[in-house]
């Protein structure tokens, strides 16, 4: 037997573009508790298009919590009320009949609104282009696999590499800091022998671009870790800070 549908009020942020003012618009929906949050938005858009109205613009791709494109702020929390899931993994059974849901984009100076719930997160790509890679010759696959790496270290590197670059850390931070994202991308290489030749140049280049793009500073509130769908640890930020200081020492830029 089909589950009873939920009656919900959606207050969705609608904004034509980054240069126009936006506002919350109310929508009434009936949705199956088994539907995902994005499926609910799909149904809403189908009904809007049937009435000749413009659909709500939002972003999605894999819908499996892998790609990180589906970021929304739901009732004040990036990705919604549940921990360690992306918006696409959130199901309507986690809400109650009659609930009012406030849905808005990730908000940050560096994440300008493209339209409605879509934001420009290309700043993350620019940070990665600055240094989030290994350009030195690390040998062939068999050679790389032959390098002994302690299990503890490889696990930490894999944990850092789990970051999907969704931007929830920026949206959760009162300063709109990207430090958790940048530190994860720094750590996934800094922990491994293949990442050592460019370790300190990497952190300097990535932090420089992060600052230029207008991301805020980290003040250790841990909101980023709490809202990260992959549970990236703030210990990566401590590692980034240590590497950044070491980079300055190596470049003899520290004032005595």
Picking from 65, 96, 115, the residue at the C-terminal end of a domain is 115
User: CA torsion 195→232→38→117, rounded to 10°?
Assistant: -80
Domain membership flag for residue 85: yes
Torsion region of 34: left, alpha or beta (phi above 0 gives left; psi -120 to 50 gives alpha): alpha
CATH number at residue 40: 3.10.20.30
The residue segments making up the domain with residue 54 are 6-115
Asked if residue 255 is part of any domain, the answer here is no
136 and 109 inside one domain: no
Among the listed residues 71, 66, 41, the one whose alpha carbon sits nearest the alpha carbon of residue 56: 41
Say if residue 107 is in the same domain as residue 146. no
Task: Give yes or no: residues 170 and 146 share one domain.
Answer: yes
Sorted by sequence, the CB contacts under 8 Å of residue 16 that are 6+ apart come out as 22, 115
How confident is the model at residue 256, as a pLDDT? Answer: 47
* Domain-ending residue, one of 115, 145, 172: 115
* Structural domain count, the chain: 2
Q: What angle do CA 5, 8, 12 make, to 5 degrees?
A: 135
The per-residue pLDDT for range 206-215, each reduced to its tens digit, is 999 999 999 9
Angle (nearest 5°) at CA 67 between 41 and 53: 25
One pLDDT digit (tens) per residue for the chain, 256 residues: 567 999 999 999 999 999 999 999 999 999 999 999 999 999 999 999 999 999 999 999 999 999 999 999 999 999 999 999 999 999 999 999 999 999 999 999 999 999 999 999 999 999 999 999 988 776 676 776 788 899 999 999 999 999 999 999 999 999 999 999 999 999 999 999 989 999 999 999 999 999 999 999 999 999 999 999 999 999 999 999 999 999 999 887 545 4
Please name the residue that has the structure tokens 């189908």.
Answer: 46
pLDDT in tens, 190-245: 999 989 999 999 999 999 999 999 999 999 999 999 999 999 999 999 999 999 99
Supply the pLDDT for residue 141. Answer: 67
**The predicted structure's pLDDT at residue 253:** 57
Q: Which of 115, 135, 169 is the last residue of a domain?
A: 115
Same domain for 96 and 130, yes or no, is no
Query: Could you tell me the CATH number of the domain that includes residue 242?
Result: 1.10.1060.10
Indicate whether 152 and 172 sit together in one domain: yes
């Amino acid at each position: 037997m089909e589950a009873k549908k939920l009656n919900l009020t959606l207050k969705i942020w609608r904004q034509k573009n980054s240069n126009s003012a936006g506002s919350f618009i109310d929508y009434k929906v009936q949705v199956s508790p088994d539907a995902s949050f994005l499926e609910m938005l799909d149904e809403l858009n189908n009904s809007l298009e049937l009435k000749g109205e413009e659909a709500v613009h939002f972003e999605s791709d894999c819908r499996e919590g892998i790609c990180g494109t589906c970021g929304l702020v739901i009732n004040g929390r990036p990705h919604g009320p549940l921990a360690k899931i992306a918006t696409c993994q959130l199901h309507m059974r986690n809400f109650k009949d009659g609930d009012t849901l406030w849905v808005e984009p990730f908000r940050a100076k560096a994440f300008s609104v493209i339209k409605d719930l879509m934001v420009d997160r290309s700043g993350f790509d620019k940070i990665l282009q600055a240094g989030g890679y290994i350009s030195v010759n690390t040998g062939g696959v068999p050679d790389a696999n032959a390098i002994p790496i302690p299990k503890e270290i490889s696990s930490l590197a894999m944990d850092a590499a789990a970051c999907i670059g969704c931007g929830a850390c920026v949206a959760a931070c009162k300063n709109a800091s990207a430090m958790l994202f940048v530190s994860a991308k720094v750590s996934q290489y800094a922990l491994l022998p293949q990442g050592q030749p460019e370790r300190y140049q990497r952190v300097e280049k990535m932090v420089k671009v992060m600052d230029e793009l207008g991301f805020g500073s980290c003040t250790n509130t841990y909101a980023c870790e709490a809202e990260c769908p992959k549970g990236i640890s703030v210990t990566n930020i401590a590692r980034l800070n240590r590497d950044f200081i070491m980079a300055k020492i190596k470049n003899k830029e520290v004032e005595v």
